[in-house]
Amino acid sequence: MTDRQSPPLQKKTAAYTFSTSETARINAFFDARQLPDCLQKSIGNYIAKKTSKELSDPVMLDRLRNAIVAQKDDYWKPQRMRSLQYTKGYSVLGYLAYHFPVYFMQTEHILAMLAGDGLLKKKMTILDIGTGPGVVPLAIADFYSKLDDATADIYSVERSEEHIEAFLFLRNACVPKGGKVSIKTPKKEDIQRSIPTKISEQADLIIFSNVLNEIGKGSVDARADLVMRYAERLAPDGSILIIEPAEENTSTQLRVLSLALKKEGLTIHSPCSFIWGTNCTPDRCWSFTTRRCIQPTRMMEILAKCDQPFRYINIDIKYSYVVLRKDGKVRDTYRVPAGSRVLRISQIHHHVDKRINLIAAKMSENLGDAKNLMFRLCDGTADKLVFAVVPSFHVTPENEAIVSAPYGTILELESVHVRYNKEHDAYNVLVSRNTRVGIAGETEREE
C-alpha cells in the first residue's frame, strides 16, 4: 500500500509557483526516495561521536537496537502508559536512526502538498513546535534547496537538551550558513508553558509534527489550548499544520482535536471537507494518507545485520494531518448543490440493501487488498464508518476514479449498493460495474 506512486507534482496556481526546473528537481528527489547523503553521513557521525564507538561496534549497535525496540513498543501504548520520552542518550540516537529518515521524507511530501495548495510563500517565517532533532526544519532546508527563489526563517522550540544538541550538529553539517533557509538555534522550553519571547512575532506556518500526542495526558482541551495559544502568533493568512502518526488512537485523537479547534474559531482547510455545511462526528474517524516508502538508510542497513533485520528498517510513510487557517480558506469549496438527488450518509441506515447515490470524500488509500479494494468515505454527516468496497474485477473506466483519485478528493458515486457490517458496526457501499464515480463539481465547473 505504501509503495503507491506519488502523483507527479503539477504546476498549480499557488502563492509560490514552481518553475519547470524546480518541479523536475522535486520530482527527481521523490523518485529517488533517499535521505540526503549529508544527513545519512552526519547521523552516523553523530552516533559515533556520542558513543565514542565505530559504527561497526557490536555492543553499541545492540544498545541502539534495544533503544529502537523500546521506542516501538512504547509507540503502540496509549499516551498515559508510555514510559519513554525519546529525549535522552540512546533513545535520541535510536530516534535519529529509525524515525528521523521517514519523518524527514514525509515532511518534504507535506511541503509539496502545501505548495500545491498555494500555502507556501516566497518568503516564509516558520515555527516548529517540539522540533526534536530538527526533522522538520532540516526537511524544509532541503526542500527549499531545490527552489530557485524562495527563502525561509525557521524558529523552533524543544525541551530536550540532547535533541537540541543533535539538531545543531545536523544543521551545522548540512545547512549552509547564509543560505536560503536560516534555521535559528532552537529555544529550550516546555511548550506547555508560555511561548518563548525570542521567537518570531508572526509566523506564516506553525508546525506540530508528532508532538501533540505527547501533550496533556490525552486531554483534547489541553492540546486545543496549546494550539490556540500558538495561533496568536499566526499571520492572518498563515497556516497551522498538525501531523500525527497513522496509528488508530493517535490519528483519531487528531480528528477530535481538529473539530475542537474548529469550534474555537479556526477553519479546517484540509484534508476534511464539510460538503453539507455540518460539523462531523470524529470519535471513530481513523483517516491517514500514505506516500511511497523510502529507501532504507545506510544506518538502517547496518542495524539490520542481525537475527531480526525487519525490526530496524523503517521505510513506510503513513501519517494523519490537518491544516488549519484563521482566514476561512479551505482546499475545496465544494458544497452539495441544493436539490441534489444524493443521500446524506447520516441517513444510510434507512437504505440497507438498496442502491443509492452519494457525494463523499475519499478519506483513505486502499485499506483492502489487491482483489477487494476498500476506501473510507466521509461526507461530514455520518456517525458510523462507511467504506466503498470495490472488487477489482468490477473496476471500469466509469468508476475507476474511486481507485485513482487522491486522498481527500470529493467524489460523486452513482448507484452503490448499501450493506451493513454488523461485526464492525459500519456500512459498506458496493461499487459495481453499474456504478459511476466522478469528481464532484467537475461537470458544473466545466459548464
Ligand X SMILES: C[S@@+](CC[C@H](N)C(=O)[O-])C[C@H]1O[C@@H](n2cnc3c(N)ncnc32)[C@H](O)[C@@H]1O
Interface pick for ligand X out of 192, 219, 347, 443 (rule CB under 6 A): 192
Task: Pick the closer one to ligand X by CB: 86 or 155.
Answer: 86
The CB-of-104 to ligand X minimum distance in angstroms stands at 8
Please report how close the Cβ of residue 312 comes to ligand X at its closest, in angstroms: 18
Which phi and psi (to 5°) does residue 58 adopt?
A: -65, -35
Query: Segment contacting ligand X (CB under 6 A): 116-124, 204-212, 335-343, 345-353?
Result: 204-212
Judged by CB under 6 A, the number of residues near ligand X is 20
Residue 158 sits at φ, ψ, to 5 deg, of -160, 140
- Cβ 234 to ligand X, closest distance in Å? 18
Residue at shortest CB range from ligand X? 132
The verdict on 131 binding ligand X (CB under 6 A) reads: yes
Q: Is 337 exposed, middle or buried (0-12, 13-18, 19+ CB in 10 A)?
A: exposed
Contact letters for ligand X, residues 231-250 (x by CB under 6 A) = --------------------
Query: Segment 141-180, which members bind ligand X (CB under 6 A)?
Result: 158-160, 163
145/135 Cα distance (integer angstroms): 15
Provide the minimum distance between the beta carbon of 56 and ligand X in the complex, in angstroms, as a whole number.
27
Distance CA 229, CA 210 (A): 18
Q: What residues pair up with 377 in beta bridges, in sequence order? A: 362, 386
Per CB under 6 A, 37 contacts ligand X: no
In this chain, which of 71, 210, 252, 435 binds ligand X, going by CB under 6 A? 210
Among 79, 87, 295, 357, binds ligand X (CB under 6 A): 87
Stretch that binds ligand X, among 27-35, 205-213, 234-242, 308-316 (CB under 6 A): 205-213
Specify the stretch interacting with ligand X by CB under 6 A; choose among 130-138, 216-224, 264-272, 350-358: 130-138
Beta carbons within 8 Å of 138's beta carbon, 6+ residues apart: 39, 104, 167, 170, 171, 174, 175, 183
Residue 136 sits in the site that holds ligand X (CB under 6 A): yes
By CB under 6 A, tell whether 214 contacts ligand X.
Answer: yes
133: helix, strand or coil: coil
- Answer whether the bond into residue 391 is a cis peptide, omega within 30°: no
Backbone angles phi and psi of 117, in degrees to 5:
-85, 0
Task: Transcribe 372-397 into DSSP letters.
Answer: EEEEEEE-S--SSEEEEEEEGGG--T
* 230 sits near ligand X (criterion: CB under 6 A): no
CB 353 within 8 A of CB 391: no
Closest CB 97 distance from ligand X, rounded Å? 13
Closest CA to 398 of 433, 429, 372, 360: 433
In angstroms, what is the minimal distance from the CB of 217 to ligand X?
11
CB 60, min distance to ligand X, A: 22
**Sites for ligand X among residues 90-129 (CB under 6 A):** 103
Report the sign of the C-alpha dihedral through residues 15, 20, 21, 27, in that order: positive
Contacts to ligand X by CB under 6 A: 86-87, 103, 130-132, 135-136, 158-160, 163, 190-192, 209-211, 214-215
